[in-house]
Amino acid sequence: MTNLNTEIFTHDSDVDVTHKINTMELDNWTNHLKYIKKELINLISICNKDLKSKIGDDSVAERLKKKEVENEALLNALRKYANSRSNIVECEDTQCDMAYITEHESYRKSYLYHLDKYRRLKDEFFNKVQGKLTLLKTN
């Protein structure tokens, strides 16, 4: 979320610092998911170039496509969540602040779970294709 000033000042309360750190973290997650989106496009493209027949397994390619859909869904959810955080400055009590902090923790868990599953799938992909790809020689 770019609307919230994320510069931390000495006079900021602990809750203000937490909101600012969470905003920076959310921006990092969004950027990372955008990168994963590009990476998935490349991995799926590699799978579609006769690699399926070389490794004899369509399941990894299909799971990469499924992960691409999941990645886009999480990215959209985080963007929507980032927009909803513009109301943080209007919080007037601890209950309001805690609602935002609790929601952020929920998104953190979703992001970390998604990242773990993606990394495992990517590792599986590279384990299957290891030694199956031919590198082009340049003169």
Q: What is the DSSP string of 89-124?
A: GG--SHHHHHHHHHHHHHHHHHHHHHHHHHHHHHHH
List the helix and strand counts (H, then E) for the chain.
4, 0
- Tally of CB atoms within 10 A around 44: 16
Q: What is the C-alpha to C-alpha distance for residues 34 and 28, in angstroms, rounded to an integer?
A: 10
pLDDT in tens, 51-104: 666 666 678 889 999 999 999 999 999 999 999 998 898 889 999 999 999 999
Q: What is the C-alpha to C-alpha distance for residues 57 and 59, in angstroms, rounded to an integer?
A: 6
Structure tokens at 25: 């973290």
Q: What is the pLDDT of residue 94?
A: 92
Are the C-beta atoms of 22 and 101 separated by less than 8 Å?
yes
pLDDT in tens, 8-51: 888 888 988 898 999 999 999 999 999 999 999 999 988 887 66
Instruction: Please state the pTM of the whole predicted model.
Output: 0.85
